């Protein structure tokens, strides 16, 4: 009998050994898969959230800083696909760990299917407008944006994007024009608004016509004008590391960012923006009035227009990495509200099937354009609870304005 027990013990040990060995090889398989299938490296160094537990609901009520993250074209299908690829069926992206979720409707004033200009206007100024228009009503009246409201309240402000900084979404927060195509005019508005941090692409719109890289139709050199106005101007990742505020203009490409090394990642841009905006030494008696920062993962939309699943996942994880940086700061700070939302869905992406290991996924696209689908919203921080529910995209701006202490919003400006 004793012999039998002993042999069982040895058998058990062998079984345990085999299970451990199996687990190791399985986890290695999952690990190598996390950074892309069949050698596709979605984003160097990105690791999906190691935990799946939601971040806590904060009891603090005072919102001092706001970080609004916009995933251009990021519907639920895009989030699900990226999560399956990066974290598996039961894992979570960082944005998915935010404790408050909601659903946002996206139509514009003239179309069931919005573009980024009208959607950006709704998110920034709380008003529905026509596709193509930026922070103006359909009648051409200009509407104040939450960034401008924050500025008026003495807060520092920033815009970060992987597109040209003059592209529709960032432009909706810092300019007022009839057409999103007026990017040279938008560049002028962004600087005239004295936005503390402007990081992205689009150098061409700041250079005079005589410069070979220029996309302007006049001889204004907005980079020189910005430097004269007190901005530090940078254009490389190395310069970014040592850059300081209070005014920072970083234009890393003539056109949109390429989102590859040696460019700074969106996460690095997010970190620098927070560092510059969260300068506690400023103001009378060293008291900071907080900041408003909008960061856009611009190129999720572009990958979806191409119906390119690999690039969609790559760009979404790049965005999620930046969100991790925002959440890391907000968890420490306790008075920072982080809101993640999309302006619209692009591509009508859906996951039709696959296996539970997510190593094989059958996906499909309904269109190469945008869709009228609602989009997810996630929130963390003080007063995050007000972002739960199903509501219109204009409500996002109204809720933000309310948290900044303004009830009368939207409102026109001259």
Partner 1 sequence: MAEIILRTDATFGLKLKVGDEVRRGDRVGVNSKTGGSVTSPICGAVKIVSFDAESHEFIVVVSAAKQNLI
CB of 260 to partner 1, least distance (A): 15
Q: Name which of 167 and 272 has its Cβ closer to partner 1.
A: 167
**Interface stretch with partner 1, choices 57-65, 145-153, 164-172, 331-339 (CB under 8 A):** 164-172
CB of 113 to partner 1, least distance (A): 6
Is residue 246 within the footprint of partner 1 (CB under 8 A)? Answer: no
CB of 407 to partner 1, least distance (A): 33
User: Is the Cβ–Cβ distance between 283 and 289 less than 8 Å?
Assistant: yes
- CA distances 107 to 111, 366, 390, Å, are 6, 18, 14
Ordered strands of the 156-164 beta sheet:
232-234, 248-251, 197-201, 156-164, 291-297, 65-71, 336-342, 375-380, 100-105, 389-392
Of 148, 119, 100, whose CA–CA distance to 340 is shortest? 100
**Interface stretch with partner 1, choices 89-97, 126-134, 285-293, 325-333 (CB under 8 A):** 126-134
Is residue 214 within the footprint of partner 1 (CB under 8 A)? Answer: no
Is residue 164 within the footprint of partner 1 (CB under 8 A)? Answer: yes
Q: Name which of 254 and 330 has its Cβ closer to partner 1.
A: 254
Dihedral sign of CA atoms 139, 140, 142, 146 in order: positive
Pairwise CA distance, residues 309 & 289, whole Å: 42
Helices (H), 263-386: 266-277, 299-305, 309-333
CB of 301 to partner 1, least distance (A): 8
List the one residue from 48, 113, 273, 294 that touches partner 1 (CB under 8 A). Answer: 113
Burial class for 366, CB neighbours closer than 10 Å (0-12, 13-18, 19+): middle
Q: Name which of 154 and 369 has its Cβ closer to partner 1.
A: 369
Is residue 253 within the footprint of partner 1 (CB under 8 A)? Answer: no
Enumerate the β-bridge partners of residue 294: 68, 159
Q: Name which of 119 and 276 has its Cβ closer to partner 1.
A: 119
Burial class for 49, CB neighbours closer than 10 Å (0-12, 13-18, 19+): buried
Is residue 60 within the footprint of partner 1 (CB under 8 A)? Answer: no
List, as one string, the DSSP characters of 154-168: T-EEEEEEEEETTSH
Pairwise CA distance, residues 104 & 3, whole Å: 67
List the one residue from 80, 122, 168, 195 that touches partner 1 (CB under 8 A). Answer: 168
Q: Name which of 117 and 274 has its Cβ closer to partner 1.
A: 117
Candidates 108, 116, 163, 175; catalytic one: 116
| Number of other CB atoms surrounding residue 32 within 10 Å | 11
Residues 350-389 that bind partner 1 (CB under 8 A): 366-370
Answer yes or no: 54 catalytic: no
What angle, 0 to 180 degrees and rounded to 10, lies between the N-to-C axes of helices 309-333 and 266-277? 30
CB of 410 to partner 1, least distance (A): 23
List the one residue from 49, 78, 116, 121 that touches partner 1 (CB under 8 A). Answer: 116
Is residue 302 within the footprint of partner 1 (CB under 8 A)? Answer: yes
Q: Name which of 255 and 354 has its Cβ closer to partner 1.
A: 255
- Longest Cα pair distance anywhere in the chain, in angstroms? 96
Q: Name which of 300 and 326 has its Cβ closer to partner 1.
A: 300
Pairwise CA distance, residues 123 & 196, whole Å: 20
Is residue 193 within the footprint of partner 1 (CB under 8 A)? Answer: no
In the chain, what is the straight-line distance between the N-terminal and C-terminal CA atoms, in Å?
A: 94
List the one residue from 96, 115, 263, 345 that touches partner 1 (CB under 8 A). Answer: 115
Spell out, one character per residue from 70 to 109, where the chain touches partner 1: x when CB under 8 A holds, - when not: ----------------------------------------
Is residue 306 within the footprint of partner 1 (CB under 8 A)? Answer: yes
Is residue 232 within the footprint of partner 1 (CB under 8 A)? Answer: no
Spell out, one character per residue from 134 to 163, where the chain touches partner 1: x when CB under 8 A holds, - when not: -----------------------------x
Pairwise CA distance, residues 256 & 369, whole Å: 20
Residues with a catalytic annotation lie at 116
Residues binding partner 1 (CB under 8 A):
110-111, 113-116, 130-132, 163-164, 167-168, 179-181, 255-256, 299, 302, 305-306, 366-370
């Amino acid at each position: 009998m004793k012999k039998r027990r002993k042999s069982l013990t040895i058998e058990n040990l062998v079984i345990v050994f085999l299970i451990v060995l199996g687990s190791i090889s399985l986890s290695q398989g999952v690990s190598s898969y996390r950074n892309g299938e069949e050698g596709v490296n979605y984003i160097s160094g990105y690791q999906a959230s190691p935990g799946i537990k939601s971040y806590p609901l904060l009891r603090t009520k005072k919102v001092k800083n706001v970080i609004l993250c916009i995933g251009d074209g990021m519907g639920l299908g895009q989030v699900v696909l990226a999560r399956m690829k990066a974290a598996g069926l039961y894992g979570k992206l960082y944005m998915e760990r935010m404790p408050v979720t909601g659903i946002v409707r996206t139509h514009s004033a003239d179309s069931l299917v919005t573009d980024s200009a009208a959607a950006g206007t709704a998110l920034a100024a709380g008003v529905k407008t026509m596709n193509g228009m930026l922070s103006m009503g359909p009648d051409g009246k200009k509407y104040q944006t939450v960034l401008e409201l924050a500025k008026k309240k003495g807060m520092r402000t920033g815009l970060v994007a992987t597109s040209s900084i003059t592209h529709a979404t960032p432009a909706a927060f810092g300019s007022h024009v009839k057409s999103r195509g007026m990017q040279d005019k938008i560049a002028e508005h962004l600087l005239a608004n004295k936005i503390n941090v402007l990081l992205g692409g689009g150098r061409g719109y700041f250079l005079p016509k005589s410069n070979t890289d220029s996309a302007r139709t006049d001889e204004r050199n907005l980079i020189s004008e910005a430097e004269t106005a007190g901005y530090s101007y940078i254009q490389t990742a190395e310069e970014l590391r040592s850059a300081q505020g209070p005014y920072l203009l970083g234009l890393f490409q003539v056109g949109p960012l390429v989102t590859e090394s040696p460019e700074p990642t969106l996460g690095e841009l997010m970190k620098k923006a927070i560092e510059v905006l969260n300068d506690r030494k400023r103001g009378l008696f060293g008291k900071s009035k907080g900041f408003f920062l909008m960061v856009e993962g611009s190129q999720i939309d572009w990958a979806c227009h191409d119906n390119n699943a690999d690039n969609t996942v790559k760009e979404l994880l790049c965005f999620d990495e930046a969100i991790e940086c925002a959440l890391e700061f907000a968890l420490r700070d306790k008075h920072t509200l982080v809101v993640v939302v999309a302006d619209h869905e692009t591509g009508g992406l859906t996951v039709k099937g696959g296996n539970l290991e997510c190593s094989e996924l059958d996906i499909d696209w309904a269109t190469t354009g945008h869709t009228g689908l609602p989009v997810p919203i996630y929130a963390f921080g003080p007063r995050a609870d007000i972002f739960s529910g199903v509501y219109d995209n204009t409500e996002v701006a109204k809720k933000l304005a309310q948290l900044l202490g303004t009830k009368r919003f939207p409102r026109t400006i001259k």
